[in-house]
Structure 1
Amino acid sequence: MKHIAGGLQWAVFLIASSIAAPIAIGHVFGMDGAETALFIQRTMFVLGLACIVQATIGHRMPINEGPAGLWWGIFVVYAGMVGVLYSAKEDALQALQSGMMYSGVLFILLAVFGLVGKMKKLFTPAVTFTYLMLLILQLSGTFIKGMMGIENVGDAIDVRVVLGSVVIVVLMFIMMNHKVPWISRYSVLLAILIGWILFLAIGKAPSITTVSGKWIDLPDILVYGKPIWDGGMVVTAFFITLLLIANMMASIRVMENLLKQSFSIETKDRVKQGSIASGINHMLAGLFSAIGPVPISGSAGFVGATRMASLIPFIIGSTIVVVMTIFPAVMSTFAALPAPVAYAVTFAIFSKMVEMAFHELAADQHQQQAYKVAAIGLMIGVGLMFVPSDSFVQLPGLVAAILSNGLITGTIAAVVIEQFLLWKGGKATRFD
């Protein structure tokens, strides 16, 4: 029974932490309500499958898959090309759908030729600290705005939403650290249920809308047509894949350290298998016209908060998500989860990741060098977060997508700076 309850908690966390991306992409492409609902269905279906693939043949750790932020950025860039390079939104989406498949093939090829394992050596404690801190800083603004009820530029702070969010955050912290084991283990599920009831009581929970009259509705495949050859997308997919591999390795490293330090669980090096699984998952994303998935570092915060390191609840939760997506009524219900509740719960979870980040930095054997690497990486990454995205519109699509993502650019800067300092001291990373 505890595995089922844990699985339900994983399912709720996976949906709550991933549903924003398909909604936002649907908005930028001008999709209507029905199109957006189907896009959400396909994305969640792929994410559930992706988690199962990773847990069984990939890295075999409880790391949930979420919509890759880099692909999210590329979707936004390509939405701006409609009417310029692409005559209709369907043409742009067809190119993106094909890009997922290109990326899937590249993931597998890089793993088979052994390049992924060599890249892992670059993720030292200093680089991992920089990555985690940039991830937290990039998302903290979104969490706070969501907890204040701010959805669009110019929206006023909603006092009732703020008070409700504060109550949930406080409850979440209390339950995460509760002495009763089952309360701390299911703190996320309990906080979401209490928060949903609270927001219903204060009149801030959206109503459930029906998007389909069918009881069961399987996700469609190749919604935007057959895969096509797009030279620009091939180049984009190549660089995006390299960056997603870096993201994947950072997430794996964070979870490995958590399992070792907090649960005394030793894990095998399965980065190669994880990359192959990511390739399969990207091809699934292309097949089902969804968003490319990537292992999410926030899983470590979730596992640390709930004390659930077992793979069984994780696989059950992923299976629940896959099954739920074929029932439109269930997906409509989850789509009605008040956004501030999800943001408040996630805020508490990510606070755990701040602790993990500093533990990483403390583990670096070269402290002074680590401080320099982290300082420069953070300044570059955070600085780019404050540059308006409109400022990049004149740049090539790939360059715009990378520079507009402070997380990736700051992490790359940290890797380059550290390797330069190591090379200067005659200790550069060897890949043989």
Structure 2
Amino acid sequence: MKTLISSLQWMAFMIAGSIAAPIAIADAFHFSAGETALFVQRTLFVLGIGGLLQGIFGHRMPINEGPAGLWWSVFAIYAGLVGSLYSSSTESLQYLAGALIVTGIFFFLLAFTGFVDQLNKLFTPVVTFIYLLLLVLQLSGSFMKGMLGITGAHQEVRPLVAVLSLVTVLLTFYFGHVKKPWVKQYSIMLGLICGWILFALFGEAPAITFGESWFSLPAVFDFGKPRFDSGAVTTGVFIGLLLTANMITSVRVMGNVTGVRQERVRSSLFISGINQLLAGIFSAVGAVPIAAAAGYVAQTGIKVLKPFLYGACFVSIIALLPPLVHIMSAIPAPVGYAVTFVVFTQLVGLALNDLEKSPDKEIAHTTAGISFLVGIGAMFLPAHATEHLPMMIATFLNNGLILGSVVGILTEQLLIWRKKRNTQENSIREQ
């Protein structure tokens, strides 16, 4: 029973954190309600299968697959190109499917050549600290807007939603600090359920609608056959390189939380390649191991793998049952944001712990300062400021998380090289 409840909690956490991306992308491409439901179904199916594959054959850690923020931004960019570069939304989505497949192939190449092992060495405790803190900062705006009820339809703060979200946050924190172990372990699920009930009582929960079908297999190439051009290939390779950084960081952070440093980076990258191919084949959003899983494990204290695997399996099964997809899609968005807000507070502590592991504090502080100025600064750039730039550059500049992390890697390596050179020069002078 304990494993079952833990598995259901993992399932709820995976779904609550994965619903927003496909819904937002569907809105950008003007999908109908039926098309949106199918898009959510296909995405959940890919995420569930991807989590299973990673847990069994890849990193073998409780790290769920979630819609990659990078792919989210690329989908949004491609949606804006409809009518100019692409004649229709369908054509744009076909090139996106092609880019996903290219990313999958690129992951295979990185895994087989062993180049990813060299990249892995660049992800020092300082870079992990920078990545985690930038991740929290980048998503904090979305959390606040979601918990205050600010959406596309409502551009003003909704006091009732804000109060209910605050109560949900406080309840989730409370459950996570209760002395009874079983309450702490299931704090995320308890917070989610209590928040959902609160929003339903005050009429702020969306109505649950059911389709006609009780079972549905996700369609293959729903947008049509993938298309490839130089833009799709370049985007696929570039996104693949950046997502590799995301994957390495997620695995390393979870290792710090669980105390199990498996370092199965090549295996994880190979499975990530399969997951990208699945996203392209099933016309879904590209997945990536989510660093927030470390915050979830730290909050609940559930470090074993079995409940995670069952939870991923449940997500895949739910994706085949449209009525259950509709039920889970009815989780009020502010509740999902409120519960995830609690999870992300754990990441700040994990980030600071990584900073303490740095052997050279001067280099660490300088690297962090430069990276944060660049990364956070990029987060304040208006979206239209990069519209005239090539897509690869625009995608890079529009993502402060990745830009700051890359700057962190380059800065730290430069400072380490300069320090070694100065040491050698001083040694030569002394001789």
**TM-score normalised by length of structure 1:** 0.96
**Distance in 1 between the 2:48 and 2:23 partners?**
17
Cα distance in 1 for partners of 2:188, 2:238 equals 36
List alignment gaps of at least 5 residues for structure 2. Answer: 423-431
Residue type of the alignment partner of 1:341: V
Q: Does 1:193 align with 2:187?
A: no
* Selected match of 1:379 from 356, 373, 380: 373
TM-aligned CA deviation for residue 229 of structure 1? 2.5
State yes or no: 1:352 paired with 2:351: no
Which residue in 1 is equivalent to 2:84? 84
Instruction: Say whether 1:159 aligns with 2:159.
Output: yes
Report the equivalent of 2:420: 426
Q: Quick one: which amino acid aligns to residue 237 of structure 2?
A: F
Q: Does 1:229 align with 2:211?
A: no
**Does structure 1 conserve the Cα–Cα contact (< 8 Å) formed by 2:252 and 2:263?**
no
Counterpart amino acid of residue 411 in structure 1: S
- CA drift of 1:78 comes to 0.8
Alignment of 1:178-327 (within 5 A): 178-210=178-210, 212-260=211-259, 266-327=260-321
Are residue 174 (structure 1) and residue 207 (structure 2) matched? no
Q: State the alpha-carbon separation in 2 of the partners of residues 368 and 153 from structure 1.
A: 47
CA contact (8 A) 2:51 2:64 kept: yes
CA RMSD of aligned residues (A): 1.2
One-letter identity of the residue aligned with 1:321: V
Query: Is contact 2:255–2:262 with CA below 8 Å preserved after alignment?
Result: no
Query: Offset of 1:426 from its aligned partner?
Result: 2.2
What residue identity is the alignment partner of 2:199? F
- Residue identity opposite 1:170 in structure 2: L
Report the secondary structure of 1:294's partner residue: strand
State the 1:50 CA deviation: 0.4
Q: Distance in 1 between matches of 2:273 and 2:401?
A: 22
Distance 1:311 1:177 in 2: 23
Alignment partners' CA distance in 2, 1:278 and 1:349: 24
1:416 aligns with 2:410: yes
Structure 1 residues 190-231: Cα deviation after superposition (integer angstroms, max 9, x where no partner): 111111111111111111122x20110111001122233322
1:85-108 CA-to-partner distances (Å, cap 9, x unmatched) read 211110110111111111111101
| Structure 2 counterparts to residues 357-372 of structure 1, below 5 A | 357-372=351-366
Q: Does 1:130 align with 2:124?
A: no
Gaps of 5+ in 1: 261-265
What is residue 427 of structure 2 aligned with on the other side? Answer: none
Deviation at 1:31, TM superposition (A): 0.8
The 8 Å contact of residues 122 and 415 in structure 1, kept in 2 or not, is answered as yes
What SS does structure 2 have at the residue aligned with 1:357?
Answer: helix
What amino acid is the match of 2:265? V
Aligned residue for 1:263? none
- For 1:93, the equivalent position in structure 2 comes to 93
CA distance in 1, matches of 2:317, 2:400: 36
Query: 1:133·1:354 contact (CA, 8 Å) conserved in 2?
Result: yes
Cα pair 2:251 2:263 within 8 Å, conserved: no
Q: Secondary structure at the match of 2:17?
A: helix
- What secondary structure does 2:235 align onto? helix
Post-superposition Cα deviations, 1:32-84, rounded to whole Å, max 9, x if no partner, equal 11111110000010000000010011000000110111111111111111111
Verify the 8 A CA contact 2:192 2:335 in the aligned structure 1. yes
| Distance (Å, rounded) in 1 between the aligned partners of 2:17 and 2:406 | 25
Question: d(CA) in 2 for partners of 1:134 and 1:245?
Answer: 17
Tell me how far 1:427 sits from its aligned partner. 7.5
1:192 and 1:269 mapped to 2: Cα distance? 33
Distance, in Å, in 1 between the alignment partners of 2:321 and 2:114 is 41
Distance 1:252 1:202 in 2: 40
Residue 92 of structure 2 is aligned to residue 113 of structure 1: no
Check conservation: 1:116, 1:272, Cα contact below 8 A. Answer: yes
The AA in structure 2 aligned to 1:253 is R
In the alignment, what sits opposite 2:332? 338
Which region of structure 1 is more displaced relative to structure 2, 363-372 or 419-428? 419-428
Contact 2:96 2:232 in 1 (8 A): yes
State the one-letter code of the partner of 1:268. Q
Give the partner amino acid of 2:255: E
Cα contact 1:71–1:291 (8 A) shared by 2: yes
CA distance in 1, matches of 2:154, 2:46: 35
Distance 2:86 2:203 in 1: 43
Deviation at 1:236, TM superposition (A): 1.0
Greater mean deviation of Cα atoms: 143-152 or 17-26: 143-152
**Following the alignment from structure 2 to structure 1, what is the Cα–Cα distance between the partners of residues 201 and 262?**
48
Whether the 8 Å CA contact 2:98–2:226 is kept in 1: the answer is: yes
Maintained 8 Å contact 1:74/1:398: no
* Contact kept in structure 1, 2:9 and 2:189, CA below 8 Å: yes
Number of residue pairs aligned between Structure 1 and Structure 2: 422
Q: Give the counterpart letter for 2:310 in structure 1.
A: I
**What is the CA-CA distance between 1:152 and the residue it aligns to?**
3.0
3-state SS of the aligned residue for 1:122?
Answer: coil
SS of the counterpart of 2:121?
Answer: helix
